[in-house]
Amino acid sequence: MTAGFHAAAMSSGRALARAYPWWPAWALAAAAWAGIALAAADGALPPALRDICRAGAVGAAPAPAGVAGVAGVTGVAGVASLAGWLWMSAAMMLPLQNRGAEHVAFSQPAARRHAAIALFYAGSLLPWLVPGLLVEALRPLVDAGQQPLNVAAGFIAAALWVLAPARARARAACHRTVPLRLTGWRMDAFRYGALMGWACVRTCWPAMVALGLTTYGAVPMALVTAALLWERYRLPHTSRRLAVALAALAAAELLRAWI
Amino acid sequence: MPPDAQGNPGRYDMSVDERDTALDALTQADFSVSQEHGKQGFGGREAAFTHHISSHGELEYIPHALVHSGISGAMGAPGTAGLDPVFWLHHANIDRLWQVWLNANPLHINPTALTWLTYPFTFHDSSRTPVTLTPAQVLDTRTLLSGYTYEGVAPIGDTSPAVAPAVGINTGLFKTTLSGAFAHFAKAATDIAPEIAAATNDPLLLEGNEASTGLEFLPPTRRSPPLVATAQFAALAAAAPFPGLAEGAAHAYLNFENITGTGVPPVHEVYVGRKGTAGRYAGALPFFGIAESSVPDTRHSGSGQSYVLDISGIAHALEEEPGWDPAQLEVTVRPRRAPRPGSNVRIGRISLYVK
């Protein structure tokens, strides 16, 4: 009886994992979020890991000296800064790629499914290096003393971007599929991931850059992530409610600073 | 659009091929399915609150799209179809068939997901003013306009579903019920998706003439191991083995993926058989709306279209032929008439899925 129940549970678990092939990316994003939460709880992480988190604008405090600026990107601290940015991107962006992961998963036999999905997700993170470098270039120009205004301005810009036709085209591109070959599947999966990642960059870059520039903390990141997930999986493509949500975040930040 | 010799507004054909009006869609158990490469359900594949799924539900495919493309002319493109009076008869009939399907079995139900019920579609009223309507607003025809019902909506044939339809999990952002979630996951756990067995490695270009291609089969060791622990698959495997095509498969689906093109191509017929033979008729590809689905814009991802043909019967028949070898499988795509200038089609991948 127990063995039968165990077998049925294992069978159902395998079938569910098969039906929802994007689950490893959600697990990875959850782990990234756990790291972010630990970083936000200052001191809970080893110093090196905490610095990486802060460099990616996920900590509560400003980035450590030497991280900011394009020149820093060439050094160890710069690499750590970009790693932190990719960490943030993984936490926030991987859960938005379910459609592409499903396409990759079911275009290939099960024996290579996990490898293909891993290559797809790796490819999808690659384009985020572009706004990451942009953040590093802009960081010295941002006055850390005007944090609430910076945050609010970033969210307002992100809200306006939601209303732009170019953003609507980018959002549509997030649902793109392409033929994936059985021979040459590794390169196809990675390239398709990069294509989808670039669509994601075009869609979400203002909000992400705003978060990256402000070294603002885990709570706004979580709110922006929730808003993006809400838009991707719950709102029709014609909806502009995300703009309202981002404007509300900007107003909340200004209100918090004023109080 | 100029009239043709008979005075009809740009129609290419005044009759529709009998095979294009088959009512197999009415035998579908589910309105929507979550799978990409097998049966597409009566209404089509589930989509996250988007308009970008490029595959077709069974009713949308036959008779909807094939009648559009078969008549062609104005009817052959979404942007002009409404100019032909037959469009309104055709869509009223599609609406009637929806009611026939609903009446056929108490388990035939419309989706209950909020994302489906509240999806906004934009039309224009008689004064050209844009009007947005949602499925929830038009489900009951007795409350639409002055109220109407269809005659001839009795069930057709045996439409007993094999399984209960899926329960919508997302009946609202904060309205996901525990029972709905369990039912959704339970269905996902038992509804095994088809697995790929073979595919083309290069796109197939249709330039007005017949085009044929073979499929590259995965070596047996690379094919997906059957989910022997899953009772459903084990039952399927025991019921109808396909020893040569794909071990244990009971159903075979021919997928045409990422079809892009321009203009209004003619309907193309698909034949499947041994290399060098005429092959057996497997279905037809309408390409209705292909130009719109091929160009990325605010409403389309540019992925093109996808069609799924159930070729289980053909696969069984080929299996029974002496000396059959899957490597001999050939897919032929043949236009029903000469294409108009400016139309072309590119099929991104042709693949064979088994279940």
Q: Could you tell me if A174 lies within 8 Å of chain B, comparing CB atoms?
A: yes
**CB-based contact B303 A177, cutoff 8 Å:** yes
C-alpha–C-alpha distance, residues B316 and B239, integer Å: 13
pLDDT of residue B33: 80
Supply the ipTM of this predicted assembly: 0.84
**Structure-model confidence comparison of residues A259 and A103, the more confident one:** A103
The residue whose two tokens read 């990409």 is B36
- Six-digit token string for A143: 């006055």
Q: What is the pLDDT of residues A151-197, one digit of tens each?
A: 788 899 999 999 999 999 999 999 999 999 999 999 999 999 999 99
pLDDT at B123 over 50: yes
Measure the CA–CA gap between A144 and A158, rounded to whole angstroms: 20
In chain B, what residues touch A116 (CB-CB under 8 Å)?
none
B35 vs B217: CA distance, rounded Å? 21
Judge whether residue B230 has pLDDT over 50.
Answer: no
Phi-psi group of A184: left, alpha or beta (phi > 0 → left; psi -120 to 50 → alpha; rest → beta): left
Q: Which two tokens stand for residue A25?
A: 């990316």
Least confident of B173-187, B304-318, B335-349: B173-187
* Token duo for residue A149: 């205004």
Give A237's contacts in chain B (Cβ within 8 Å).
49-52, 298-299
In this structure, chain B runs to a length of 355
Yes or no: say if B66 and B20 are a contact pair by the CB < 8 Å rule. yes
Quote the pLDDT of residue B169. 38
Strands B44-45, B32-33: pairing is: parallel
pLDDT in tens, B15-68: 888 999 888 888 888 888 877 788 788 888 777 655 556 778 899 998 999 999
Q: For chain B, what is the largest distance between any 2 Cα atoms, rounded to a whole number of angstroms?
A: 66
User: What's the CA gap between A238 and B189, in Å, rounded?
Assistant: 33
Map tokens 């070729």 to a residue: B311
In the predicted model, is pLDDT for residue B92 greater than 90? yes
pLDDT at A215: 61
pLDDT band at A3 (very low <50, low <70, confident <90, very high): low
Contacts of A76-83 with CB under 8 Å at 24 or more apart are: A77/A51, A78/A136, A80/A48, A80/A51, A80/A52, A80/A55, A81/A52, A81/A55, A81/A56, A81/A136, A82/A55, A82/A129, A82/A132, A82/A133, A82/A136, A83/A52, A83/A55, A83/A56
**Which of A95-99, B231-235, B254-258, B298-302 has the weakest average pLDDT?**
B231-235
Yes or no, beta carbons of B196 and A18 under 8 Å apart: no
Rounded to whole angstroms, the Cα distance separating A173 from B297 reads 8
CB atoms within 10 A of CB B186: 15
In chain A, which residue's Cα lies nearest the Cα of B116?
A236
What pLDDT is recorded for position A144? Answer: 67
Query: What is the reported pTM?
Result: 0.86
* Structure tokens, B186: 């339970």
Residue A71: the pLDDT is 43
Count of residues in chain A: 259
* Residues in contact with B274: Cβ distance below 8 Å, sequence separation at least 6, in sequence order: B318, B321, B324, B328, B329, B330
Q: What is the dihedral of CA B179, B184, B186, B188, to 10 degrees?
A: -170
Least Cα distance to A135 among A87, A93, A85, A90 occurs for A85
Which residues on B lie below 8 Å from A184 (Cβ)?
201
Selected residue with higher pLDDT from B45 and A64: B45
Nearest Cβ partner for B297 among A99, A109, A169? A169
pLDDT at A247 over 70: yes
Higher pLDDT, B88 or A40: B88
- The pLDDT of residue B49 is 58
**Average pLDDT in chain A:** 83
Residues of A in contact with B231 (CB under 8 A): 11
Instruction: State residue A147's pLDDT score.
Output: 73
Q: What's the mean pLDDT when you consider all of chain B?
A: 81
Answer for the pair B248, B242: CB distance below 8 angstroms, yes or no.
yes
* pLDDT for A59 beyond 50: no
Residue B220 reports pLDDT greater than 70? no
User: Residues of chain A with pLDDT > 90: what percent?
Assistant: 51
Q: What pLDDT, on the 0 to 100 scale, is given for residue B241?
A: 42
Peptide bond preceding B63 in cis form (omega within 30 of 0): yes
Q: In this model, does residue B174 exceed pLDDT 70?
A: no
Residues A48, A52, A54: CA angle, nearest 5 degrees: 115
| pLDDT surpassing 80 at residue A99 | yes
Nearest residue of A to residue B203 by CA position? A179
- Do the Cβ atoms of B280 and A199 come closer than 8 Å? no
Testing the interface with A: which of B35, B52, B305 to mutate, by most A Cβ within 10 A?
B52
Give yes or no for a contact between B55 and B45, defined as CB atoms under 8 angstroms apart.
yes
Whole-number Å distance between alpha carbons of A185 and A73: 33
Question: B335 vs chain A: nearest CA distance in angstroms?
Answer: 23
**Spatial CB neighbours of A244, under 8 Å, sequence gap ≥ 6:** A159
Dump the DSSP string for B302-330.
S--EEEEEE-HHHHHHHHHSTT--GGGEE
A181 interfacial to chain B (CB closer than 8 Å): yes
Higher per-residue confidence, B160 vs B323: B323
| Contacts with A172 from chain B: Cβ below 8 Å | 52, 296-302
